Amino acid sequence: MSHSVIIGLGQTGLSCARFLASKGEHFAIADTRFNPPGLTEFELEFPHIELWLGPLDAGPLCDASQLIVSPGISISEPAIARALDAGVPVIGDVELFIREVSTPIVAITGSNAKSTVTSLVAHMAVKAGIDVGAGGNIGLPVLDLLSEGEKELYVLELSSFQLETTHSLRAKVATILNLSADHLDRYPDMLEYGLAKQRIYTGCETAVINRDDDATQPVHEFKSNLVSFGLNRPEAGQFGLLTWGGGVWLAEGDKALISVDEIALTGRHGQINALSALALGQGAGLPMDAMLAALKDFKGLDHRCQLIQTHNGVRFIDDSKGTNVGATVAALNGLAGEGKIVLIAGGDGKAAVFDELAAPIAKHCRGVVLIGRDANLIADVLSADIPVYKVGSMDEAVHKAVALAQNGDQVLLSPACASWDMFKSYIARGQAFVSAVKGICSAS
């Protein structure tokens, strides 16, 4: 009997199981962990479905009609690789979703800012009165969107891991927002990481690229429409910044659209996110007036360069989602010019090299407070002119940062690392920062 094998339980695996069950399809499920998340829920909901826990066995995988691999599991796992060699199709939940819907898709990837831009484009669609669904890597598995009935537009945040197992995307509009070192514990080098991201452009009608990042341009033969965004003056049909009437404006070509003072997103990183969203929204056919209205009240997402509090002239900013070097560099550059920065960084570096932090830290920082497993690796690349302190907890880090900061400065949590060595997630890390900040501010 033909059957699928879902590899990886958790949120994505459960969504795949429910989808296949709704179709009356036969399947089994495997997970390399002996006690994966969602196990109790799965056993209650699917008591008669075969479940294999522990190291993957290539034999049953090679006998499957297809493997549906969760993004947390590499398709280079030996048992999966053997199944691939045996001709077994390997797909993911995004591929299942794409085969199910005919609605236009906005597809968004990148090393940084993809959740913010995905949420912003979805907000623009809501402003335009469009029934929109947003999901993917942003938190809601794409297959769960199907329970709401087919939408008029889907906006999907897609990770490189999800794109590896997606073969027929053909988005209405697609983008790689930026590319910087990340997930080098999973990819052998930046080339392979970038090629995984490039899959988002396959068959798309319009590709939106970042003029300031050559790695976002399609590397394969590309015959579709190409639109760019960047922080310089744009050419006709492109998006960028325009100095006009004594102010700075988001613009399309020579047409000023909205003053940067009117948009809720702040700093240069906010401006680049707004410009990319305008380019994507235009590619999806969203009306400009609705998109501009959305920019006026979209304040961004939690733990992404989020202003927590101002106390004694010091601004406290939570960028716990800054889980790689590129994100922290963008945060430092985006917040520059508003006083010096005291940076809190460190954690699980995912095999990254931290050299690119040295220049912006030397330029913008008053001091650096380091936590986590790879604190020494970060300290090793920094200039001897920058005060560096290593501490053992978030509370200690915030107290030390407050001691260093002067009136007009900013205390920025932007770790350039994953959180797993000290916290359950980047959200838990951000919450620890916010709690420590509020504790200090209320005590003084």
* Residues of the chain below pLDDT 70: 1-2, 181-184, 221-223, 444
The predicted pLDDT at position 181 comes to: 67
- Of 318, 336, 357, 364, the closest CA to residue 267 belongs to 336
Q: What does the pLDDT read at residue 131?
A: 97
Question: How much is the pLDDT for 333?
Answer: 87
The residue with tokens 């590619």 is 283
> What is the CATH T-level fold of the domain 95-297, as seen in this structure?
UDP-N-acetylmuramoyl-L-alanine:D-glutamate ligase (3.40.1190)
Domain 306-443, classified CATH 3.40.50.720, yes or no: no
Q: Which residues are catalytic?
A: 114, 137, 183
Query: Looking at the domain 4-91, which fold is it?
Result: Rossmann fold (3.40.50)
Domain boundaries along the sequence of the chain: 4-91, 95-297, 306-443
pLDDT (tens digit, 9 = 90+) per residue, 250-264? 999 999 999 999 998
Alpha-carbon torsion 276, 281, 284, 288, what sign?
A: negative
pLDDT, tens digit, 9 for 90 and up, residues 167-181? 999 999 999 999 886
Q: What does the H/E/C string look like for the chain?
A: CCCEEEECCHHHHHHHHHHHHHCCCCEEEEECCCCCCCHHHHHHHCCCCCEEECCCCHHHHHCCCEEEECCCCCCCCHHHHHHHHCCCCEECHHHHHHHHCCCCEEEEECCCCHHHHHHHHHHHHHHCCCCEEEEECCCCCHHHHHHHCCCCEEEEECCHHHHHCCCCCCCCEEEECCCCCCCCCCCCCHHHHHHHHHHHHCCCCEEEEECCCHHHCCCCCCCCEEEEECCCCCCCCCEEEEEECCEEEEEECCEEEEEHHHCCCCHHHHHHHHHHHHHHHHHCCCCHHHHHHHHHHCCCCCCCCEEEEEECCEEEEECCCCCCHHHHHHHHHHHCCCCCEEEEECCECCCCCCHHHHHHHHHHEEEEEECCCCHHHHHHHCCCCCCEEECCCHHHHHHHHHHHCCCCCEEEECCCCECCCCCCCHHHHHHHHHHHHHHHHHHC
Give the pLDDT confidence score for residue 364 in this predicted structure. 95
According to DSSP, the residues that pair with 40 across neighbouring strands are none
**What six digits make up the tokens of 381?**
């690349």
